[in-house]
Homo-oligomer: A and B are copies of this chain.
Amino acid sequence: MDDQSGPGPLVTSRLGYLLKHAHREMDRLSNEALAPLGIDARELGILLVIASHEPGSQQQVAERLGIDRTSMVAFVDSLESKGLLTRHPHPDDRRRNIVELTDAGHHTTRTASEVTQRAEATLLAALTTDQAQQLRGALQRILAPPG
């Protein structure tokens, strides 16, 4: 306790620092909330992408998430072994694995969405409803493609 713990205001006022640590905290809260469901935040992202689109190949899911197909294999392996999704070959192109949520996968996705929303509320507890809404809106505007 003999150093004033923390990097100091020159660092903590930087946007990169703030975003990094806010994300780290959000990730920690999400994974804590998801642990009882047997998945982590990364896996929930994959489930949500699958739930959001027509059934597609592993590669399509990977592209939408911005990860490469070789990494996708292990994620699909894991989610399949948990019974949350199924692989089956595309009838017209047997090179492709169509990945689809199982009933359990749909259920877990819904439950996971609820618990992560509560985790978000925990992170934002220090803000008013308006401030929270403005934060979300500002981040969305930042990331929207310029045009």
Contact = CB atoms under 8 A, between A and B. Distances in A.
Given A3-B63, A10-B52, A48-B8, A19 B127 contact: no
Interface stretch (A69-77, A79-87, A130-138): A130-138
Q: What range describes how many residues of A lie at the interface?
A: 35 or more
Most chain-B Cβ atoms within 10 A of its Cβ — which of A5, A56, A132, A141? A141
Interface of A: 3, 5-23, 25-27, 30, 41, 45, 48-49, 51-53, 56, 60, 63-65, 113, 116, 120, 123-127, 131-132, 134-136, 138-144, 146
Closest 8 CB pairs of A and B: A8-B52, A19-B23, A18-B139, A135-B138, A10-B52, A10-B48, A15-B120, A126-B141
